Amino acid sequence: MMINSAVGNTATELDQYLGYRDALKKSGKSWQEPVRVSEATIEAGISIAAQMFENDDLPDGVFISNDWVAAGFVKYLKKKGKRSQ
């Protein structure tokens, strides 16, 4: 699963998106549209992690394109006693 911040439309973000798409194709995984958060904040990372863990169908991995969102995501994992790798 890929999580993009709201900034968008940069060459770096396009490269990340294409890399994500290509990696899914190579691995034989089904396509999953990236999740977009409305703002690049720690709170957004916490919120998306909480939503993800409500669902029993967790992804194999998560690529987060923004440091603040990633920090919030990891903060949620630590609070819940989950390990990030």
How many domains in the chain?
A: 1
Residue 85 within a domain: no
| Dist. CA 77–CA 74, nearest whole Å | 5
Residue 84 within a domain: no
Domain that holds residue 54: 2-79
User: Residue 35 is part of a domain; what is its CATH number?
Assistant: 3.40.50.2300
pLDDT single digits (tens) 22-48:
888 898 887 777 777 778 899 999 998
Residue 19 within a domain: yes
Residue 20 within a domain: yes
Query: Residue 56 pLDDT more than 80?
Result: no
- Sequence letter at residue 82: K
> How many percent of the chain have pLDDT more than 90?
20
Residue 57 within a domain: yes
**Higher-scoring residue by pLDDT: 55, 48:** 48
Per-residue model confidence (pLDDT) at position 2? 60
User: What is the value of pTM for the model shown?
Assistant: 0.71
| Dist. CA 26–CA 42, nearest whole Å | 32
